[in-house]
Structure 1
């Protein structure tokens, strides 16, 4: 079983088990010889391997059911197409696990489901409910769901969320914050014609080097001469659906700009000369250095939003900080890269229409400078506007914002309209008459006895959960606030594992085999701590085994 676990963790095919066992025997592990009861029974057939994988997955699922018990939980759902053009839906479960007196978020892969009849909202709902039945989960315990925001997921009339809410009206739904952030930035760029052209130029640069080892070798050679090879980044492709990855592409252009111009200048081909004309002007240079500054805080925010443990309590503060920084960089143009740019560029346009930039002549004009400043300003303002629109407190986000207000020390220490509004919204959501009185007792308890430790929303939620026997309704609200996912990033990571497991060479894996391999890979944990003895007992008791003497 340990060998099978090792192969699964390293995405090796099951057919290698006999070779791995033989290698271990050659290294002195004689106990594996007992697997070969006779020449027909070796327990190395694909069916035997899958039975052992199933036993190990059963051990993981038993622990999950024991940890979850009858607690509330949330789900993260997304669908994708694999290498065999099969449409699969991944379902992750998120719940709170108590560890050392604190409640921490934990996410596990629940199921991998093949969508045989298309990804309609009704099909998605039936698939989820069927998976709940298999894993003994109750729809009434579902408190939240996070999706990518596609119409089939969040449609107001007949989307998946609405269909699940018809089964349990108290479910809180969120649109993945990472998707919203990418859409806010991408749509801001789409609204500015030059930014669309800029993206085309970046991709043209990438293809110029990626498709030609000769061009790449010339670039490396020039970087080596300039002693910048160790610091420069490789040119990267830009994808519209992953617009925030643009930061790495822009940074690579800025780092390699001088070398880029040298390579293009040496190449007299029409393609190279066309690229040279597009990049050797002040407009392209200005936009590149501006984006290198502005995209940096957005990229950092994006990485923060992809954390497995992020919850609604930490979204607002991070978003506000980033929005302020983007606005500051847009208005002041005083970011690190822009400062370097301004020190290398003359304040006024030269009479000949060119200036020297690190040994290369750059075309310059008042019109280009004005257009560059204008489109950069429009982009920054549009990003801020889109972020405010996409992260507005509407629908279930308004309820979650009210949840935050109840446990925010800055709000509940002073009675006022903000606190009263939060209490009203939460009261309507929980439908409990005793909530107002219970919350008031909890609030006064925290202010009187926990003033030194109640520093933020999360710490106050931990107090509520720790005193759940006294403040049951308040604790339930705190549990929801920490449990409801704000991102479906776990599903994206799951699809990455899916693509590592199901490859061109393993394209015939069925859905159950794919699930077993992904489950062990994602939730199997460390091999040293896995309970193989329990897995063996499960495997042994499934049916009669000749190796066990019956």
Structure 2
């Protein structure tokens, strides 16, 4: 070990050279008599004599430095000029230039090191010597030498650090391996939403399979501690990345209640990473109050506790997305309004477009009576089966007799997003024959009560009417169109540039369905007109009144739906301006396309405070992009900022779903801080195969924590006992 340390030291200091210039300390030792004012030469001790002699045995003049000044004066010149030194004959040298000697590929051919400061320089007067020293200190070659030495020093430190780390890892190889296995086991428990109490049996299983895991870090408490340690380090890594980069970012928040009846605020940060925009889970915070001011204060305090200051938010926060709750989006006291007042008046606030799409559909259901009646009928079916497992089993038997599978009937147009409503309508459409057979059987079953039989008879009569199937087909066509839009808005890579185009496509499709038949309506119409049946079920033929009602419902339903979607999702701010960046919105005429969107591009740049070299240059790059599809540097930076704007808070909903998988009824006593750490790992962490357990094991041990192979403390484990009756099978 001493030999290795000696090698490192000799490597850092470099090989010894002859006639090495003296340092300022050696110079002061040489001239101590003159500095103290002793004019007469005195007899020197052995140490003083050695201080005036270099490694070759030469001596330095005690009276003249550089041929013209006293050593005490030269010592003052050395202040702030650590590179200034003396040679044996009293000439002045530059240690940096002496050390580098040749610039080589570090500079151009005309630049070279001044040989005078390498060999030593003298002057006839102090002024001339000082001028030469000052000129040399400002010259470019000297500055390059200083930077070369600094780089060499940093590289030497880095190499020494790598050598030291390598030696430490080699010495603690077995400890790291066992500790990494325990940490990886705990990480797998978190990734699979398992209880901390699974750590001991999983450790025991691996030990039975021949894996050496030491004798510590096997308990459920150790599992919790390791996971909180991992979450803390990952959070620090995310915060450091946010602080060291200069890119714009957005914040997404939402509020929900856990199974422990605790109100929590979930926070996501949307920002680019490695060329792709990512939604990072940031924090789950317990709210003491659900007012807008409390939400704003809690959010800012959490950010500042991690070093994300208000000044950073003012310069880099460009988007804030949330749902339409009054505490979030209130005009006067909402969290978004208060955040604008606190941080930036131009902050882009985004009301989740998925929530606005739900509100548009609910507006139509309230306005169109037939749609409201359809919702009440599906709610009746949902209650009939959800409240009686017996009815569900009987429906499955009826479907099995028909050679099909009965799907679960859900609610339509409820508080959940449109994908759920579309799934419920699809289940009703596909299970239609089984439902009709089921209700017909129950209506004729004398063992049922009269009320139940009458109810089943009424449902059967409703479902076999032509106008009900027409309403079902029209609603299914509309929901499938809106589902495609909803699913797009839920995508992680959905941007404001694409959102406006997708909304326009959905609105045009809804308007066209007033006259053009959708896929489901067309299929129903062809089968009913040709066979008077639908999926093998005889349908009651419509009269003129039914046809008029169906035509009126179709016209009013699709017009209302298209108008409400367009009204709710219309945005006059930067989100709407981003549509100009989408090539699908550009005019077909070349002259019109050349100047199209310039004003909106400038609006985006000013609103998002995107730093560009010049506005005319940005417009020029935009025109080249429209003509040739090539993005310049300024336009690319603007596109990066625009892609950071979220269009939905679907990521927050995914976070709450992951939270509900972790915080089950059996774990409802878990603290919010523990839940936050587990949620951070579950959402942001890599899979078990990609998890760097060795790195976290190294950090764990270096912080003074117990390794897996340390001697255990506390009470010994209870010996494993086999139940007496199990001994029969253990033999």
Give the CA deviation at 1:208.
2.5
Over residues 473-499 of structure 1, what are the superposed CA-to-partner deviations in whole Å (9 max), with x where a residue is unaligned?
x55533321111111110000000111
1:259 counterpart = 2:434: yes
CA contact (8 A) 1:233 1:256 kept: yes
Structure 1 pair 302/423, CA: closer, same or farther in 2 (3 Å)?
Answer: closer
Give the CA deviation at 1:169.
2.6
Cα distance in 2, alignment partners of residues 177 and 321 from structure 1: 15
Over residues 35-90 of structure 1, what are the superposed CA-to-partner deviations in whole Å (9 max), with x where a residue is unaligned?
2xxxxxx55252x3232112211342244235433332111100001111110010
Alignment counterpart, residue 387 of structure 1, candidates 565, 570, 583: 565
Give the CA deviation at 1:293.
1.7
CA contact (8 A) 1:152 1:160 kept: yes
TM, length-normalised to structure 1:
0.85
SS of residue in 1 equivalent to 2:647: coil
Cα distance in 1, alignment partners of residues 599 and 656 from structure 2: 41
TM, length-normalised to structure 2:
0.65
Which residue pairs with 2:527 in the alignment? 344
Which residue pairs with 1:113 in the alignment? 285
Structure 1 pair 114/369, CA: closer, same or farther in 2 (3 Å)?
Answer: same
CA contact (8 A) 1:51 1:539 kept: no
1:274 counterpart = 2:458: yes
Over residues 346-396 of structure 1, what are the superposed CA-to-partner deviations in whole Å (9 max), with x where a residue is unaligned?
59xxxxxxx6653435264332332232223212111110111112132xx
Cα distance in 1, alignment partners of residues 358 and 456 from structure 2: 31
1:436 counterpart = 2:615: yes
Cα distance in 2, alignment partners of residues 428 and 109 from structure 1: 28
Which residue pairs with 1:208 in the alignment? 384
Structure 1 pair 128/523, CA: closer, same or farther in 2 (3 Å)?
Answer: same
1:317 counterpart = 2:504: no
Cα distance in 1, alignment partners of residues 276 and 578 from structure 2: 18
Cα distance in 2, alignment partners of residues 356 and 416 from structure 1: 57
Cα distance in 1, alignment partners of residues 363 and 543 from structure 2: 29
Over residues 264-323 of structure 1, what are the superposed CA-to-partner deviations in whole Å (9 max), with x where a residue is unaligned?
111132331232233232221110111122211111111111111111111122111222
Give the CA deviation at 1:436.
2.7
CA contact (8 A) 1:186 1:243 kept: no
Give the CA deviation at 1:250.
1.8
Alignment of 1:91-490 (within 5 A): 91-98=267-274, 103-116=275-288, 118-137=289-308, 138-140=312-314, 141-166=316-341, 167-229=343-405, 233-238=407-412, 240-242=414-416, 244=418, 245-268=420-443, 269-332=453-516, 334-346=517-529, 358-362=536-540, 364-394=542-572, 398-405=573-580, 408=583, 410=586, 414=592, 418-423=596-601, 425-426=603-604, 428-429=606-607, 435-443=614-622, 446=625, 451-454=627-630, 463-464=631-632, 467=633, 471=634, 474=635, 476-490=637-651
Structure 1 pair 413/135, CA: closer, same or farther in 2 (3 Å)?
Answer: farther
Over residues 95-142 of structure 1, what are the superposed CA-to-partner deviations in whole Å (9 max), with x where a residue is unaligned?
0122xxxx21111110000001x2111111111111211332232221
SS of residue in 2 equivalent to 1:529: coil
Structure 1 pair 428/523, CA: closer, same or farther in 2 (3 Å)?
Answer: closer
Give the CA deviation at 1:504.
0.9
Cα distance in 2, alignment partners of residues 336 and 258 from structure 1: 19
Cα distance in 1, alignment partners of residues 210 and 356 from structure 2: 56
Q: Provide the aligned length of Structure 1 versus Structure 2.
A: 506
CA contact (8 A) 1:87 1:115 kept: yes
1:10 counterpart = 2:192: yes
Which residue pairs with 2:264 in the alignment? 88
RMSD of aligned alpha carbons: 2.7
Over residues 416-448 of structure 1, what are the superposed CA-to-partner deviations in whole Å (9 max), with x where a residue is unaligned?
77534325534653678975323234335546x
Structure 1 pair 227/545, CA: closer, same or farther in 2 (3 Å)?
Answer: closer
Cα distance in 2, alignment partners of residues 150 and 277 from structure 1: 41
Cα distance in 1, alignment partners of residues 414 and 266 from structure 2: 24
Cα distance in 1, alignment partners of residues 402 and 207 from structure 2: 55
CA contact (8 A) 1:185 1:243 kept: no
Single out whichever of 426-435 and 367-376 deviates more from structure 2: 426-435
Which residue pairs with 1:460 in the alignment? none
Cα distance in 2, alignment partners of residues 318 and 415 from structure 1: 21
Alignment of 1:522-537 (within 5 A): 522-537=683-698
CA contact (8 A) 2:498 2:582 kept: no
CA contact (8 A) 2:267 2:282 kept: yes
